[in-house]
Amino acid sequence: MARKLNIAVQGCCHGMLDNIYNHLLAQQKQKKVDLLIICGDFQAIRNITDLKCMSCPDKYKQIGGFYRYYSGEKTAPVPTIFIGGNHEAGNHSREIYYGGWVAKNIYFLGNSGVVKFGGLRIGGISGIFKDFDYHKGYYELPPFRGHSRSSMHHVRSYEAFKMLQIRWPLDIMISHDWPQYIERYGDTEGLLKKKPFFKKEVDCGDLGSPVNAMLLERLRPAWWLSAHLHVRFTAKVDANESIFPEGWAGVAPRSTDTAEANPANTDEIAISDDEFAFSEPSNGTQVAAPDAKNSTAMPTKADNVCRGPTQFLALDKCLPRRQFLEIIEVEAPDNAADKELKLEYDPEWLAILRLCHPYMPLDEAPFDPPASGATPLFSDELVNKEMDWVMKNIFADGPKYIPENFVPVAPVPPPGTPDTANFGIARNDRGRGPGYDRHGQRNVRNVRNGSEWPGPLPYFINANPQTEDFCKMLGIQDQLTQRLH
């Protein structure tokens, strides 16, 4: 008999872990929750360096409550997995690019990833779509100044390429921004009543990510979960429907003119008093003619992994009177009725990582997919070769549970540090802030939640033993951190 798992879904987190877990525990009195999924803007901030690297205006930067979970002062009451959004500490995410524990019982899926839980296959892709960064490699280096703080959270075509290699059906897919055109499969009128400033994007077909639409079209998970737009919205894409309008031509590359090579920081959005309130600028990607070499084109129906329907759910951020957390029931496969409710490695995903690893782009040059076709796919022969290696070397004794090997590698502030602490980074609307007097001069003696960071400044990137162990298990190199030493 198939088992149903109760999955709690949270929209944007914005560092409000305590509030989310308290709300979840109150709901647990009526229904036991097996797993919590957080759909981005998690903000795993440990210290002042993470705050400096976080992609958002300085005046809104606060340490938040995550550091207590990182230090072990608190423990997540339910297993939690999350993806990255566009307001994160990119240096922390880079340390566990392939995924890993950020605290006991809290797991990051990586820039893209697939894991298993209780028999369910759960995939995710971190970040948001920006066409001017989509085809670039991972060129950003410490100290991550200027645009690189934002670009670290912009989805790359390399991650989409890896996700496109998936052949086996997914039960759940997680993204931060919505798939493009998904609003057409739900109550569009109701959405515009809540968010009237979305109308222009909806009318132009620019709301959401064309990359996520492409992945939805191919992967067709049973559930697709998102956040980012701070509103609850549901939709359903039936098995016989294509999410693309007729004439959609793929995700086109932008030109490399100087003006676009150094774009304005479009993530530095206007923020209202109670939330990151914004309307995403038009991406300019609708019905764009792609370059055959440097684009990831629309999958054909024959390419799709599964033609079942997809339920879409997007949720708000954690604020009073908002719809930010919801529990869904997801049926696990028949053969998973007795599965232990622990995170497992996914063999197909590990094979894909091994296959794609030699082509990882590490500069600003456009990523050149090492496969051809309308949907650039490796041959079944190559995938099966890597699957054989993975099954022989990693899964020889059966399922491979993800080791609970979290250890903190970065300092945190002293116990009792308030969530609003900013260590003198944040400024108020008049250009002054904690740590400055009325003339704008430094004054550390009169600081409201802005006291100096105690001790030396932490490193931007720390070697993480989880990543080292994972790469050793998989027989690959951690190219992102090795090039820093």
pLDDT tens for residues 324-371? 999 999 998 877 778 889 999 999 999 999 999 999 999 999 999 998
Q: Two tokens at 197?
A: 């400033």
pLDDT the model gives residue 336? 79
φ, ψ for residue 401, nearest 5 deg: -75, 145
Q: How open is the CA angle 104-107-111, to the nearest 5 degrees? A: 150
Q: Which helix (H) or strand (E) holds 123?
A: strand 120-125
| pLDDT tens digit sequence for 271-281 | 333 333 333 33
412 close to 67: Cβ distance less than 8 angstroms: yes
455: confidence class by pLDDT, cuts 50, 70, 90: confident
Among candidates 139, 57, 151, 67, which has minimal Cα distance to 103? 67
Q: Which residues contact 469 (CB under 8 A, 6 or more apart)?
A: 403, 405
Q: How open is the CA angle 141-470-10, to the nearest 5 degrees? A: 75
Strands 80-82 and 106-108: parallel
Which ranges constitute the DSSP H helices of 304-414?
347-356, 380-393
Burial class (CB in 10 A: 0-12, 13-18, 19+), 319: middle
How many Å apart are CA 46 and CA 69, to the nearest integer?
Answer: 10
Among candidates 411, 330, 363, which has minimal Cα distance to 158? 363
How many Å apart are CA 50 and CA 27, to the nearest integer?
Answer: 32
φ, ψ for residue 267, nearest 5 deg: -85, -15
Among candidates 23, 80, 21, 73, which has minimal Cα distance to 46? 73
How many Å apart are CA 462 and CA 309, to the nearest integer?
Answer: 42
Residue whose entry in the numeric block shows the structure tokens 């309130």:
277
63 close to 413: Cβ distance less than 8 angstroms: yes
186 close to 312: Cβ distance less than 8 angstroms: yes
Among candidates 252, 280, 278, 35, which has minimal Cα distance to 178? 280
Say whether pLDDT at 465 is over 50.
yes
pLDDT the model gives residue 444? 36
| pLDDT tens digit sequence for 15-63 | 999 999 999 999 888 889 999 999 999 999 999 999 999 988 888 899 9
Strands 310-314 and 223-226: parallel
230: confidence class by pLDDT, cuts 50, 70, 90: very high
Across the chain, mean pLDDT equals 85
Q: Two tokens at 164?
A: 């496109």
pLDDT the model gives residue 111? 98
Q: Is the peptide bond before 77 cis (omega within 30 degrees of 0)?
A: no
How many Å apart are CA 156 and CA 126, to the nearest integer?
Answer: 10
